[in-house]
C-alpha cells in the first residue's frame, strides 16, 4: 500500500510541484495539497484548481522525464482554521459550495471547546490535532470523533518544536485511539523538513505509538480518510453515470458487484420457485381437462 502525506501546504504551482517530486523520491505515492482559509474567507478563490504537474520518476528514484513509470495520486484539501467556538456558527452554510470543490475537509484549532464541538460534525474528515491546547482534552471527546469516522492528524513537523502540552495531549490521543483513526502527515512547507516514511515511524515512537500503528497511520488510515472524503462528495454531488473502465483505482468501490446483489451466489430458491409455479399450472390444466 502506498505511503501518504495528506498535508502539503500550497504555496504556488512551481514550489508545490517541486515538493511533490521530492515526496516521490522519498517513497510517497499519495499526497493531498492543502489550502488553508479562515471562516471569513468563504468566498476566496480555490487556488488548487490550478494544474500541479509532477515530474516522472523511475522506481529507483531517479528522474526520468516523459515516462509513466511512477505516478502520484494528488488530492485537494481544504483546511479551515477555527480560533473560537463562535466561528462555527453558519460555517457549514457559508462553505457549503466550497466543500464540493475539495476531496478532503479538515479543521485546525487549538481551542478545547472548538475541539469538542467539531468532533460530532459529519462533514469533517480530519481534525488537525494541535498538541498545544492549553487544557487537557478529554478522552470522551476524542472517542466521539472516532465514532463519527473523523481522523485526527498529527503533523510530524510539530514534533521538532514540541513542548510539555504537546507531549501530554498527543500521547493521550494515541492512547485513547489505540492506534485507530490517527494519521501522520508532514504539514511542512519546506522540503528540508520532510522525512521518509520509515524515518517517521521511528520518530513517532517517541510519542508511544508502535511501529505497526505508525505504518497504518500513513497508509491504511490515510486511505480510509480519502475514501470518506470521496463518499462525502458523492453524497453532496449529483447523480452521474460513466463506464466502469474510466473509474480510478480508488473509485472502484462505487461499482455494484455480484456479491452486493447476490451475496450467496445461490439461485436454487428462485429456480425452485419457478418449478413449483410450473407444476401448479400443470395441475390446474389437468383439473380443467377432467372437468371437460
pLDDT, tens digit, for every residue of 125-152?
999 887 666 666 677 777 888 888 899 9
Cα 54 from Cα 28, distance rounded (Å):
13
**What is the band of 245 on the pLDDT scale with cuts at 50, 70, 90?**
low
The pLDDT of residue 3: 92
29, burial (CB in 10 Å: exposed 0-12, middle 13-18, buried 19+): middle
**What is the band of 185 on the pLDDT scale with cuts at 50, 70, 90?**
very high
Cα 33 from Cα 74, distance rounded (Å):
7
CA-wise closest residue to 95 among 128, 126, 124, 127: 124
Please tell me which residue, 266 or 115, carries the higher pLDDT value: 115
The helix (H) or strand (E) run that includes residue 15 is: helix 13-26
**What is the band of 100 on the pLDDT scale with cuts at 50, 70, 90?**
confident
The label of the residue with cell 470521496 reads 230
The pLDDT of residue 62: 41
pTM for the complete prediction? 0.73
Q: How many CA atoms lie within 13 A of 200 on its CB side?
A: 29
Q: What angle do CA 74, 76, 77 make, to 5 degrees?
A: 130
**What is the band of 258 on the pLDDT scale with cuts at 50, 70, 90?**
very low
* 212-241: pLDDT as tens digits: 888 999 999 999 999 989 888 776 544 455
Please tell me which residue, 35 or 52, carries the higher pLDDT value: 35
The three grid cell numbers given for residue 91, joined into one nine-digit string:
460555517
Residues 6+ apart with CB under 8 A from 84: 111, 114
- Is it true that domain 3-236 has CATH number 3.30.300.30? no
| Sign of the torsion angle spanned by Cα atoms 62, 67, 71, 77 | positive
**What is the band of 196 on the pLDDT scale with cuts at 50, 70, 90?**
very high
Please tell me which residue, 259 or 9, carries the higher pLDDT value: 9
On the question of pLDDT at 64 being above 80, the answer is: no
Please tell me which residue, 165 or 195, carries the higher pLDDT value: 195
**What is the band of 113 on the pLDDT scale with cuts at 50, 70, 90?**
confident
Q: What angle do CA 70, 10, 183 make, to 5 degrees?
A: 70
Mean of pLDDT values over 176-193 = 86
Q: Could you give phi then psi for residue 252, rounded to 5 degrees?
A: -70, -15
CA-wise closest residue to 183 among 104, 120, 80: 104
Percent of the chain with pLDDT over 70: 73
Mean of pLDDT values over 27-46 = 91
Q: Rg for the chain (alpha carbons), in Å?
A: 25
The label of the residue with cell 466561528 reads 87
Quick check: 100 and 126 in contact, CB under 8 A? no
Amino acid at each position: 500500500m502506498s505511503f501518504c502525506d495528506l498535508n502539503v501546504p500550497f504555496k504556488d504551482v512551481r514550489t508545490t510541484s517541486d515538493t511533490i517530486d521530492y515526496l516521490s523520491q522519498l517513497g510517497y505515492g499519495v499526497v493531498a495539497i492543502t489550502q488553508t482559509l479562515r471562516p471569513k474567507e468563504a468566498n476566496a478563490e480555490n487556488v488548487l484548481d490550478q494544474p500541479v504537474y509532477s515530474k516522472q520518476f523511475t522506481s529507483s528514484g531517479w528522474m526520468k522525464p516523459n515516462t509513466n513509470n511512477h505516478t502520484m495520486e494528488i488530492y485537494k484539501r481544504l483546511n479551515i482554521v477555527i480560533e473560537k467556538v463562535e466561528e462555527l456558527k453558519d460555517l457549514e452554510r457559508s462553505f457549503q459550495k466550497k466543500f464540493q470543490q475539495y476531496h478532503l475537509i479538515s479543521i485546525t484549532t487549538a481551542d478545547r471547546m472548538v475541539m469538542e464541538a467539531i468532533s460530532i460534525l459529519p462533514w469533517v474528515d480530519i481534525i488537525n490535532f494541535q498538541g498545544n491546547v492549553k487544557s487537557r482534552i478529554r478522552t470522551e471527546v476524542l472517542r466521539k470523533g472516532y465514532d463519527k469516522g473523523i481522523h485526527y492528524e498529527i503533523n510530524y513537523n510539530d514534533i521538532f518544536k514540541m513542548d510539555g502540552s504537546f507531549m501530554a495531549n498527543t500521547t493521550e490521543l494515541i492512547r485513547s485511539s489505540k492506534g485507530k483513526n490517527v494519521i501522520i502527515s508532514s504539514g511542512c512547507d519546506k522540503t528540508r523538513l520532510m522525512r521518509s516514511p520509515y524515518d517517521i515511524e521511528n520518530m513517532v515512537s517517541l510519542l508511544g505509538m508502535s511501529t505497526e500503528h505508525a505504518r497504518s497511520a500513513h497508509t491504511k488510515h490515510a486511505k480510509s480518510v480519502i475514501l470518506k472524503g470521496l463518499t462525502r462528495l458523492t453524497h453532496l454531488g449529483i447523480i452521474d453515470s460513466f463506464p466502469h473502465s474510466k473509474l480510478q483505482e480508488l473509485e472502484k468501490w462505487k461499482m455494484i458487484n455480484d456479491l452486493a446483489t447476490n451475496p450467496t451466489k445461490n439461485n436454487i430458491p428462485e429456480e425452485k420457485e419457478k418449478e413449483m409455479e410450473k407444476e401448479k399450472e400443470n395441475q390446474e390444466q389437468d383439473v380443467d381437462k377432467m372437468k371437460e
